[in-house]
Amino acid sequence: MFTFQKFTLGPLQTNAYVLIDETRTRAAVIDPGMPDAALLRRLEGLTVEAVLLTHAHFDHIGGVEEVRKRFGCPVYLHEAERKWLADPGLNGSLRWTDVTAPVSTTPPDRSWKDGDKLELLGETFEIYHTPGHSPGSVSLRCGDLLFAGDALFRRSIGRTDLPYGDSEALIRSVRDKLYALPDSVIVLPGHGPETTIGEERTGNPYVRLEK
């Protein structure tokens, strides 16, 4: 099983995750939100197998191009947001000019869809399409770890007041897909502290199970 390290990056305090396999020779990066010297140093000397994007809002993609160019790795993103990497209007960076310059990078190298399985670092990652915060949002599960992006937070959920957000879709994503996972699954969100599916199923005030 891999180990992981969290890097909290940028003005929106976005969680990026560096995953390193048990041989300490291979790595992957989830949501490199901005160019960051400490994150890049952690990857030096490793074979970076992929950059995995839970979605393409600017605070999750700002460091994509630097990681891709330096380490020669493919970038994965849901097809629904394929155009967002290159378009500051779609990825939101034009709306937040007080905290970021326009973010534009080349398109993703590969896409995925709900139910896909990705072999990475000697492990299997399952892709859950969890739209609502954005149309192409995904959550990535490997064993008892769930990298949830901005779908599910500790005692909260992702905002849906941004363009292309959909509150009903997000509630369905959390209730029907994420709450269906075992209580023991650890949720590693795009912002804030980790939690578990069990904690959120019983205590999240925004999405409650129907009785």
Per-residue pLDDT of the chain (211 residues; tens, 9 = 90+): 899 999 999 999 999 999 999 999 999 999 999 999 999 999 999 999 999 999 999 999 999 999 999 999 999 999 999 999 999 999 999 998 998 999 999 999 999 999 999 999 999 999 999 999 999 999 999 999 999 999 999 999 999 999 999 999 999 999 999 999 999 999 999 999 999 999 999 999 999 886 5
Neighbour-count burial for 69-79, b at 16+ CB within 10 Å, e otherwise? eebebebbbbe
DSSP string, the chain: --EEEEEEETTTTEEEEEEE-TTSSEEEEE---S--HHHHHHHTTSEEEEEE-S---HHHHTTHHHHHHHHT--EEEEGGGGGGTT-HHHHSTTT-TTT------PPPSEEE-TT-EEEETTEEEEEEE--SSSTT-EEEEETTEEEEETSEETTEE----STT--HHHHHHIIIIIITTS-TTPEEEESBS--EEHHHHHHH-SSS----
Distance CA(39)–CA(51), nearest Å, equals 13
Q: Give dist(CA 39, CA 13) in Å, integer.
A: 14
Tell me what pLDDT residue 134 has: 98
pTM (whole model) above 0.95: yes
pLDDT at residue number 210: 62
Task: Name the fold adopted by 3-95+112-203.
Answer: Metallo-beta-lactamase; Chain A (3.60.15)
Q: How far is Cα 123 from Cα 104, in angstroms, rounded to an integer?
A: 31
pLDDT recorded at residue 148: 98
Report pLDDT for 122.
Answer: 96
Token pair belonging to 123: 């492990």
